[in-house]
Every structure is written in structure tokens, then in C-alpha cells.
Structure 1
């Protein structure tokens, strides 16, 4: 019997789709979760073999901050998987194609995901738009420089009781690459804490009485804590809306008693922490890893939403095999984006445009590796001026 692709309608179907995702991912220890509580209604697509759900692709309705600070409607794609018994049957391709069509119909301008494998999603038009790394800090060597701002007030809060407080702070995020965290995302964090309890601490920072940042952290290996020679604390969520909040949260974390090592699980590639300490070698940065896989669902709307730098105009030809409405030539200037019929300076697949869209990948690097068709040798340089940003994009949210 042929496999049908459709929206999962009942709670039983949604939970069956979620179980498929867990089975497909092999190593996710999420335990007994009611998927209805952590998903957006009507967005979970399933592949059904007769009545059995054998694959799925889900998404949250959200927003994405683009260069210049605008927020565009965004689909946070997640829970993608196909049972091993049904792989190599184009089920994933059909799911993603249907999902992109649905996202476009909803009017969402972009989609993004976190990829379990790095070779799957480019063929569907996704490109790596932001990267991240970890940071390991040896606290006995990590004195802050005297010039670092003092920061404001720090207070401990209960993560379970104060979810709305933390969500309200994060909802003010303005850095390029930040995404809105929907209610289902926060609910899943609550369920994970119950399923895998750890001694988690959350501190909130305020400047002049206004909450403007928070950090969530927990100790590792609590069983051997008092005999360990390298007591380690992991920072799992770090949100700073202001320089004051960033400095104040650093001061708190770097002065924790009974702690030898502080590990930030994810920071931007241009995070300022190494510049803030006297001994830069106290901060050891981990390997760079891909973070945001971005898909431009409406290329014209996405280009018009972001701010461009100064520079000469470029005519960019875009090719999109899955969403033909994106095909065309676009003249990009510092002030406008318009469709045009004049010859292109540079041609590009939608996945490569996505990689450069937030400013995380340079056009000249893309040209040097053959990922763009160059008709004007100077076009990549001009695009770097137009697409350049003051800071590298970073999301900081796993979903």
C-alpha cells in the first residue's frame, strides 16, 4: 500500500509521530512525553503506511531576527524522522516538500532547523546560516579585566515557577539569528527537568530594576562532586539583552564557589568573553559546529526584511527547485530589493543564499569554492559589503 503524507489529526497520531522521531534519532532519552503538550496544533505532518505512522516532520510557529533587527515569520522545523523500516523510499523528501509548501501557504518567510546529519538538508534548500562553539573556562585563571562594566543586580529564581519570566526576557531578543521560543518549547524544557532532574540554578540580571538577562546552569557529576579535582558547572542557557546584563552574568558565573571549570555549552563565534578576562588562555574555545540551517521560503520578502550595508548594487539570480516562486533575478541595493529582468551579476541556489543571508558566510568564500555562478568578477566583493553585519549571527536555541 502506498504511503500517504498528511497532517496528523488526533492526539494518538501526534504521539505516534513523536515516537517515530525518538526511534529515528536512536539516542534521545526523552521518556514518556505527551507530544500534544509540546507541539503546535495542525503543524505535525505524518507519513502513514495504511494506519501506521512511519515518518514525520513538525514545526513551531515562531519569528527570526534578521540583520537590522526586524523579525520575520519563521517556522522552527523539528521532530523530523522516518522509521528504519521505511527508509530509502523518498518518504523524507515527500515530507519536506509538503512541509515547505505548507509553510509558504502560512505566509512564513523563513524556516530553520538543527540538523542531526550535515548532508541531508542542503538538497531541500537549507544552508548553514550560523555556527556556534562551546567555551571552557578555568576559573582560577579567569579574572575579569578591570574595565569590564560592573553589571546590575543578580537574583536566583525557580526555573519551574518562573518560566514566564524567562520567556519574557528571551522574547525581547534582538541579535541576528535569534528565534522566538514558542510555548511548546518552554513546556518541553519543563518536562525534561522532571524526567531528568539535576540541580539546576537560574539567575536573573536586572539593570535599574529592569530584567535584561538570565543564565541557567547546573553542576556535572554530582555523585563525585566533593572528591573531584575538576568540579564543573555547565551553562545551558545564557541570554543577555544588554552589555550590563552580559557583564553582570559573567561576574556571577566566574565567581561561583566550589567550582573549578565553567563550560558554556554554546556561544557565538565572536563572543566577547575571551576579551573580557585578563588571561585569554583561561577561556578555551571548542570546535566550530553548524547551528542554524536556514531555508528562505519567500526570497523576496526575506531580502526586503533585512538591512543592507553601503555598497554598489548587485543583480542576484536565485534558483529554487522546490519553491519555483522564488526563482528570478533580484537587484539588491543598500536601500531596496526589486525583481528585475536585467542580466545577473551572480547566480546562486537558494541554499547558498540562505548561508549568506544572516551575514555568517562571506560571498567571496562562496565564490572561491564554486558555490555561485559568477558573471561579474567583482560581484562577490560588492555582496560582502551589502550583506556584511556588525556581529556574527547566533541563535542559542536548540529545538
Structure 2
């Protein structure tokens, strides 16, 4: 008897199978909070047609994965086709049987066949996806601000007007603001119609107050914040009244300052937890006492998989002197394996000897500029044949803005 029974992979299309896949995913994740049932006949609002795969053993659905089409911003501002991968799950009764491997490889092949340049995901476990060519390309920082002490420095921009908006009308406005203000920060991804539909659906099950405020005059809004209070049962008379900022979109310095000023001015609030901001967010530097904004945690955010190495490197901007020849190995796509010569003038394949060697996962970590070549070399993840080339590569791949997506999916 085979140790790993045959796994059959196919696209799930019917309403019933898509519902079964989502139920399977929740079972696989174990600890997701309970939520409402998806509306009848509406699975197409939440899952892109043709992008949900199911894994079957002996005719039974035992695993699933899906993705949505969009774009991702590379250093320099170029937007490339992107697959947002999510809902990877296998029934606990069928783990370690090659199901994940079959699902992920099929999905990667499908995404590359669609012409997508990169794929990304948020990893529930950090030890799974490296073997499929995913590398950590951005981090997310949680900031804890003591409102009782925090004051803004002189010279911080005033920002514009801020006003509250109410659900459900807020959703259309937030979607418009986000789509109209695409930033050049590496790692930003499109929030697709499927993402927004899922947000609306999940919000319908939220108990307790959630607030939305937007920055800018009516018709010219350019930023927003969503926040909620914690422990509302002990709010009145409490000494540590905390709000959690779950979505902070401020693509300009003016919008960032205006929304920060608004949050710091809220009465009956002692602490503000910014759940996810870039590593280089200016907030601590805006305060008279830098220590009034404490980094509570830093966690991996974007796990990036390069599907087409040539197109990804050609679309990215590089800044720095000199050139470097890098050998890339991709165990899934032979087309990606080769030597690439990189300089600020462009990228080309090369027949010359490699100065640095790395796997496609490590190149994914480098692509957005958030990880240093020296870091990976010191960790044994880049093989260095020419020490001087490592310094050249460091300068070429470095980018002034820290990569950050700011979107969970």
C-alpha cells in the first residue's frame, strides 16, 4: 500500500464545493472565530472564478487553496501582476500526505500560466512555504502609544480635516479612497472587489463598536482609519482604556499627520495600539518623547514567491554603482534558473560566472528591498564567491522605503 495515496487536484466551481472548501479551511485552522454563514448563491462575491483548487483523495475533498488576481508594487513604483494566495488548508486527518505540496505546486503553475509575475501570502506557519520558493519580503510593526504622555513635536504637519463616516456607506468610500491613492511603497497590493466583499461579510459578525474616520474634504478624501475599543465592559472608570487601529491608510504625509492628530485627540482613550504599520513609520519621530511610542512586536508580513524572475527583476528599479552576477535556482520553474547580471541600468541574463548564488526564495526576500544581502549571506542563505560583489548587491537592492502591504487576506 502506498504511503501517500494519489492526490487529485482540480478547480472547484459549484456553489456547494466552494462552501465545502471554506468549511474545510476553518476546520484546518482550528482557532478561527465563529462567523456567519456565507449568503446563499453569493460565493462568487468572495472567491474569484477558476482560482479555488481542491485536493481529493479517494473522491473526498481533503484540502483547498485559492487566490485573487491583482497587482503588487515593486521598488520604483512599477505594478506587476500578482496572485494573492489564501485559504490554504488540509484536513487534520490528511496532513503529511503530500496534499499541500500538490496544491501549492498546481497553484503556482496556474498563476505563472496566467502571466502573473509574483505571488504572495500571509503564513499561518513559518516553516512551510520556504520549500515552495516563498521568502519573507516585508514585516509588520505593532506600535503602542501612551496617549496620556504623547505630545506632537512642533513642526509636525497640521494635516487636513477629519470626519466620521458610518457603516455600511463607509465601505464604498474606503474602497474609492484606497483605489484612487496607489502609493509607491514596495509591497503594496491591490485590494480587490473580493477582498472588500470579504471585509463587509466579516464585519457583519462583529459585536461591539467599530469606528471609521476619513481624512480630507468631501470628494477629496485621501486617507482613513478604522479602530475599535478593547474591553468595553470596563471602559467607564478604567485606567487603561485602549483602542486598536486595525486599518491605517495614509499615503501622504499630510494624511498621516491629520489622522494621527485626530487619534491622539480622542477623549477617554489612554492607549492606542496601531496593529500594523511599516517598519519606518514616522509616528515615533513625531512625538516629543520618542519612547511614548513603543514597538510591541515585529512580525513577518509578505511571503513573496517570484513566478517569473526575468520580468520581476526587469520591472524593479535598482540604484547604485557597478553590476553583479547572481545565480538563481528555482526547483519548480526551470525557466527561472540562470545567471542574471544586475545594475542600475537594467537586468540581463549572463553566461559569465556567478558572483553570488541563491535560491528563488531568497531572491523573493530581496526583491522589495526590505532584507539586506549581508543578512542573508551571514545566515548562509547566499553563497558568496566574490566578497566585493556582496557590497555591490547590497547597494543595488536597498530601497529607501521599507516594504509594506498593510492588507491581510
Q: TM-score, normalised by structure 2?
A: 0.95
What displacement does 1:30 show? 4.5
Residue 173 (structure 1) aligned with residue 177 (structure 2): no
Identify which of 274, 288, 295 aligns with 1:285: 295
Match of 1:182 among 169, 188, 192: 192
Question: What is the TM-score with the length of structure 1 in the denominator?
Answer: 0.97
Q: Deviations over 1:25-68 (max 9, x none)?
A: 00112423424431111100110234421100111111101101
Q: Are positions 1:26 and 2:63 aligned together? A: no
> Pick from 91, 107, 112: which aligns with 2:115?
107
Asked if structure 1 preserves the Cα contact closer than 8 Å seen for 2:327 and 2:358, the reply is yes
SS of structure 1 residue aligned to 2:302 = strand
Cα distance, 1:378 vs. partner? 1.1
CA displacement at 1:365 relative to structure 2: 1.3
150 and 208 in structure 1: CA distance in 2 versus 1, 3 angstrom threshold:
farther
**Match for residue 330 of structure 2?**
320
1:117 maps onto 2:117 in alignment? no
Alignment-derived partner of residue 384 in structure 2: 374
Please give the per-residue CA displacement for 1:91-145, whole angstroms capped at 9, x wherever unaligned: 1001000000000000000000000011000000000000112111110111111
Is the counterpart of residue 349 in structure 1 residue 359 in structure 2? yes
Which of 375-384 and 247-256 deviates more? 375-384
Aligned equivalents of 1:152, 1:235: Cα separation in 2: 19
Distance 1:208 1:382, change over 3 A: farther
1:253 counterpart = 2:297: no
**What is the number of equivalent residue pairs in this alignment?**
399
**Residue matched to 2:228:** 218
Q: Please tell me whether the aligned partners of residues 143 and 297 of structure 2 are also in contact (alpha carbons under 8 angstroms).
A: no
Cα shift at 1:256: 0.4
CA drift of 1:83 comes to 0.2
Distance in structure 2 (CA, Å) of the matches to 1:394 and 1:63: 14
Aligned residue for 1:142, secondary structure, equals coil
| Structure 1 residues 190 and 210: CA distance shift in structure 2, 3 A | same
Residues 1:207 and 1:367: Cα distance change in structure 2 (over 3 Å): farther
Match of 2:53 among 26, 29, 45: 45
CA–CA distance in structure 1, aligned partners of residues 215 and 167 of structure 2? 14
TM-aligned CA deviation for residue 211 of structure 1: 1.4
- CA distance in structure 1 between the aligned counterparts of 2:255 and 2:217, rounded to whole angstroms: 7
Partner of residue 2, structure 1: 6
> Over the residues paired in the alignment, what is the CA RMSD in angstroms?
1.3
Aligned 8 A contact 1:151 1:207 in 2: no
Task: Report the alpha carbon displacement of residue 155 of structure 1 after superposing the two structures with TM.
Answer: 1.3
Gap runs ≥5 in structure 2? none
- 2: CA distance between counterparts of 1:108 and 1:192? 28
Any stretches of 5+ residues in structure 1 without a counterpart?
A: none
Q: Judge conservation of contact 2:224–2:259 (CA < 8 Å) in 1.
A: yes
Q: 4+ residue stretches of structure 1 with deviation over 3 A? A: none
More moved, 382-391 vs 220-229: 220-229
